[in-house]
Chain A
Amino acid sequence: MNEGWLALLQQALGLLFSLDPDVWSIVSVSFSVSFAALGITLLPSMILGFMLAFGRFPGRWFVTNLIQTLQSIPTVVIGLLVYLMLTRMGPLGDLRWLFTQKGMILGQMMICAPVLVAMSQAAFTSVDRRAWETSRTLGASWFRGILTVCRELKVPLLMAIVAGFSRILTEVGCSMMVGGNIADVTRNIPTAIALETSKGDFAQAIALGLVLLILSLVLNFTLGALRGKAEPRSH
């Protein structure tokens, strides 16, 4: 490479710190879509996770395994599914959601939900059942009981949220297929990186990669700090 690594990195940092409008449009598409998808799925997923951990109902075993499976499906397959639903000929074609942020949000919800359900289910399973039973026998309402359990599980539940969020913020397959990578509309960080790399313009790809890197460092160090306070008790 005749551009050299340092020069590229310099250009990338320049783009970031000069608040290049292209870069920030891409970053804001990424965040608004992923936050929306996470926001809509969060509560229903956690409730389902709680029910799977605490409830006993027919089909529970099946649902649990189905969700584990969905977690490992590549995002392009989910993208393909959503694409086929939203295309002109598809069952939801009349919504005209293909190549819009709404379509991307729908796809990301389907990617994020299984992660949230599975990880919150694991968290709720790990909790001492007595915390729940005690609060209930002490006269706590259903809702208060859940709140007590959730407080116990602050760290693992946050980890579930971070895992779900990073999966959708970083996925490229579904966003590319369903969003279509339209500049300023559906172009997010991963699809922009794919495009810049295919053009051979690495500086902007690196700038965007840095945004993701910094974000995941911040998220994980914050989690680390929270976890630090929750060391196993020694007594």
Chain B
Amino acid sequence: MLNLKSIFSFALAATLVTGMPAQAEEIIKLATTTSTENSGLLKNLLPKFEAESGYKVQVIATGTGKALKLARQGDVDVIMTHAPAAEAKFVDEGFGLLPRGIMENDFVILGPKNDPAKIRNSKTVEEAFAKIAESGAIFVSRGDNSGTNMKEMIIWNNAKVDASFAGYKSVGQGMGKTLLMANELQGYTLSDRGTFVAYKAKLDMAIDFDGGQALANPYQIMLINPAKYPDLNHKGARAFSDWLIGAEAQGMINSYKVQGEQLFKATYSE
């Protein structure tokens, strides 16, 4: 028979172990994009960093727009995003320090396998976008101010197409949900390659346009200016940034694979 006292002391011990608040110094709050979290990259990298440094990284995965906002408000210690223009503004305005490009992957245009808008032989991504708009096909946009959404807007702008044609649907959802919607509606969408690889089995879609370097998707890690928010964990943030650009982490990024495909290419250079 179970002894009440032993159950009680066990419960107490369990509560102490799991519920004990780690000391504020040891926690690093990282705001980042859903792609780094959903792809499983962070789960692969963080335990190693945590074991080596003694810090604990808490990840807040959200769109790049919201991640930058959290950083502006001093709600997180460090930020890793993928929207170069918005990041440059963040640094210029004195919120961000020491932006370091740590890795990149690329965007692709996904669409129905039979490619109704005939974008496969397009020379540029702008041409492909214009064809989608002209053909009357459906285009599903994330419309959530994420890094992918910002990239999409830049392309429409460069293609001189007004993104309000009949088939344009701005759905305001994360990448995964947007892919499922595009699949249901058999429309086109702009996606990062990593999320597509992760969702491939669920989708009746193909990469209809692969833009190479023109669709590169660079990720940066940035520190937050201590002058703005002195009480953040700046030491931990710096340690994390330094670790990410090191040979070990850069190697781990290169060798991280999902379903046999490399998702990110390490890019740090002095």
Contact = CB atoms under 8 A, between A and B. Distances in A.
Interface of A: 1-3, 87-88, 98-99, 176, 180-183, 185, 187, 191-192, 195, 198-201
A183 B73 CA distance: 28
B172 interface: yes
A183 B77 CA distance: 33
Contacts of B184: 87-88, 98-99
A99 B70 contact: no
A180 B173 contact: yes
A199 B144 contact: yes
Contact of B171 (A1, A87, A88, A182): A182
27 contacts: A2-B72, A2-B73, A2-B74, A88-B184, A98-B184, A99-B169, A99-B185, A176-B173, A180-B169, A180-B171, A181-B172, A182-B170, A182-B171, A183-B169, A183-B170, A185-B169, A187-B172, A195-B144, A195-B172, A195-B173, A199-B65, A199-B144, A200-B62, A200-B65, A200-B66, A200-B69, A200-B70
Given A99-B181, A99-B184, A183 B171 contact: yes
Interface of B: 62-63, 65-66, 69-70, 72-74, 143-145, 169-173, 181, 184-185
A191 B62 CA distance: 17
Contacts, number: 52
Nearest to A192: B172
Contacts of B169: 99, 180, 182-183, 185
B147 to A, nearest CB: 12
Contacts of A99: 169, 181, 184-185
A123 B66 CA distance: 47
Nearest to B228: A2
B66 to A, nearest CB: 4
Contacts of B70: 200
Nearest to A182: B169
B38 to A, nearest CB: 15
Contacts of A87: 184
A3 B69 CA distance: 11
Contacts of B66: 198-200
Contact of A198 (B63, B170, B171): B63
B173 to A, nearest CB: 6
B153 to A, nearest CB: 14
